[in-house]
Structure 1
């Protein structure tokens, strides 16, 4: 229907109402003088009605109308998912009020599923660098915005209508990948017959697919473990080479003789194979160690003295003279 045909239908209903205040001659003259302006107003009203129903744009004026729809729908898209689902339910109820039969129920469910898919596509397109806004119209659509101007519209038939040709090729490729990705995300959704659960699951999966990967955790190496000359790592290797018990654990060892993890020379001593112990055990105090050494030192010295006295030549000669003296006396 053209604007002129639509204007004629409007005038048929308008003339009887205007005749109560104006004469028929004045009404006919007013229509004759302003016919062109009236047709332009009717054409714009018809265009706005088509765009609000989700019709694809074809002229620059129609893309401007979609820009106004984007300004209205963008804040609503940023609401929580529960509020968005309530908006979808209200739109479905309007369709069911017009047709409560099976056809109306199927059309209402198709509208809800279509908008859920379009919103998931918008989430994925934003990851690719596009400013995508889903539009909840009578036939849902997806608008691509650049510098506050709508450059493309994806209608309910999944057809892309581009206002600026330089964005068409790349946008068409990205949109094809996104639609395939949404088809994969739909697989395996439980209770897909319920729109609220289907939409929540689909949008959650889309956001999870666009979330950046968590970086690997980095741990700072302590200063004494960075392999510096004379550090703990080098000392523990020396201790492991001399002490068999330290080879069974990766913990740093503490030398009993020097009470320090940096005493590599003490760990190489052959006096004891138990010179090292794990660093986690509490070390004895220096006072107790010195007392223990003082207690054991006399015993060690007496034993060494006894061995040296039995084996010395002076002790052997004196014992021989005493034996000869006892023999002569007898």
Structure 2
């Protein structure tokens, strides 16, 4: 299977989607949700409602099958009638283990919500690339996939069977990916960054090459040829979309891979350097310090669990060699 840059980034940031609750409602009602500390998503399974997000001038109407995503730490109100005094969501879901509730007769609307966990160190790579909020209309080309996923999520949560917890987690992950795909295919104006670059089909071949073999000494001509563009046109288009030049993007991606390896493994710095295309440890260390402000070893020590900080890298390599 060809390299998939979006999957690369979601894996790097340990993106994990979870459905955490929901409610049904009838009559006149309004609920205020606090500003989320993670990316939040929600879907309207039945009926319709209004969503008013702090900082936005106009409320947004959500219909059955519509999906919303909130990446900014803003509170918001979900309501049948925005003139109603909103009830604090925390009071509705405050019972021990309580993840769902009913307002009124519960006949008019069904809502499910969840959030996306991201790695604390690398998570901003995803969170900062998204707009403050996204609404995916049930009438989009992704609607069929959304309808199926929402139906399955509701079934898994209402009729708990063996494996339901894991099934719900995988369905929520698919829902998040579909939201990202739908937004990429939309006509929405995006800020420069990796998300916008991946949304540009003309640039995809270059991104696939760089993510597929980040250690290779890619030349601008090779990347431009893969996109069937002249060197100048490709460089200009890539910079406009990504906000950086192609080879700068490659260098930054290499450093993110290095950060992950330094945090999550005891692989020697020299080996990490070679794995991402540096011919010497010193060249890698200088590049890493320019980007992060820290040497690779200082970064590793600062990001190690407390009980591992006394383990010297050479000792770790020696121990690994003995195991092999």
**In which range does the TM-score fall when normalised by the shorter chain?**
under 0.3
Indicate the structure with greater helix content.
1
Indicate the structure with greater strand content.
2
TM-score, reference length from structure 2: 0.21
TM-score, reference length from structure 1: 0.21
The structure that has the greater radius of gyration is 1
Higher RCO, 1 vs 2 (CA within 8 Å, ≥6 residues apart): 2
